[in-house]
Amino acid sequence: MPTAAAPATRASADSSPSPAIEAVDLTKRYGDFTAVDGITFSVTRGEAFGLLGPNGAGKSTTMRMIAAVAARTSGQMNVAGLDPEVEGPRVRARLGVIPQQDNLDEELTVRENIIMYGRYFGLPRRYLLAKADELLDFAQLSHKASARVEDLSGGMKRRLTIARALVNEPEILLLDEPTTGLDPQARHVLWDRLFRLKESGTTLVLTTHHMDEAEQLCDRLVVVDHGTIMAEGSPAGLIREHSTREVLELRFGMDRNAELAEHLEKILGDDDAAGFSHIEVLPDRLLVYAGQAETALERIHAAGLKPMTSLVRRSSLEDVFLRLTGRSLID
């Protein structure tokens, strides 16, 4: 059972070599449809671990199995040393869960939402009164403490859901698309808060479609698609392994992009200085993967080609996803 002394418990847990979460061949089927298809991963205590993938990849289904709210079809799972299917309540007591859809009690006030949630964990009222103030401050919602939830903006509801999930001082925090619906400033504040939680020893597991979020927050992540893991590593490691350092984005006009790709491959293929790797043809632009994108652009200009626009940028996890699946992360 969580208590106000949870951080001390966590410190002793840190010395244990057992992982925070371990999934082996985890599978979830809905009838004939396989939503999660035999995935294996392990999350170290204190780590920030991400599930990155497009709509329908199986991210939320995986999170629900970790959170002991969905049963697995097959495979093994261990969360904080326990099997969520056998010891659901004990697992839930050690988790903070931020579901994809906010499930706040709209009738209650902001403050009461936190207190009521804490009561489910059997936490004492005196502890909860102080904790609610601390969490409202954390979520920048102190000025809304007495407002009814139905009167909050979408982003405020999201922040309250996150604050509420921290009431039991969880050792593992599950965040399913935590920043969806937040404005850029609120996202940055939340990243900062999550970073602080991680520094204090909380294990973070998050899903996102936002590559910048994954790059900012995750020590390690898995790229998931159609219920399977396509790749695993640190954001920088994945980019190194599956992409070039830089990317040159070119637009020649809708009907000319594909036709020019082959031509560009010939121009750049013979040139070591640009560190050319390959080209991806998107409907609206060409992505030229090269270690030195400026040099590639110079060669293209020297060959007499004049793109309508050109942009040199660093490779991102989006490029990794495109390379692995041939599709874009966000449809």
Ligand X SMILES: Nc1ncnc2c1ncn2[C@@H]1O[C@H](COP(=O)(O)OP(=O)(O)OP(=O)(O)O)[C@@H](O)[C@H]1O
Other C-beta atoms lying within 10 Å of the C-beta of residue 40:
14
Between CA 141 and CA 325 the distance in angstroms is 41
The separation between CA 295 and the C-alpha centre of its own chain, rounded to angstroms, equals 34
Nearer to Mg ion, 9 or 61 (CB): 61
60 near ligand X, judged by CB under 6 A: yes
**Cα angle at 259 between 258 and 264, to 5 degrees?**
90
- Least distance to Mg ion, CB of residue 149, Å: 22
Residue among 84, 76, 70, 88 nearest 29 (CA): 70
* Nearer CB in complex with ligand X: 58/170: 58
User: Per CB under 5 A, does 60 bind Mg ion?
Assistant: yes
Site for ligand X contains 35 (CB under 6 A): yes
The encoded tokens of residue 221 equal 């992540």
Helix 125-138 vs helix 154-164: crossing angle, to nearest 10 = 140
For ligand X, the closer of residues 50 and 58 by Cβ is 58
Indicate the SS3 state at residue 10: helix
100 binds Mg ion (CB under 5 A): yes
180 in contact with ligand X (CB under 6 A): no
Say whether residue 309 binds ligand X (CB under 6 A): no
Beta bridge partners of 279: 288
From the list ligand X, Mg ion, none, which binds 234 (C-beta under 5 to 8 Å, kind-based)? none
59 counts as binding ligand X under rule CB under 6 A: yes
Choose the contact partner of 101 out of ligand X, Mg ion, none; CB within 5 to 8 A by kind: none
Check residue 179 for interaction with ligand X (CB under 6 A): no
Residue numbers at the binding site for ligand X (CB under 6 A): 30, 33, 35, 53, 55-61, 100
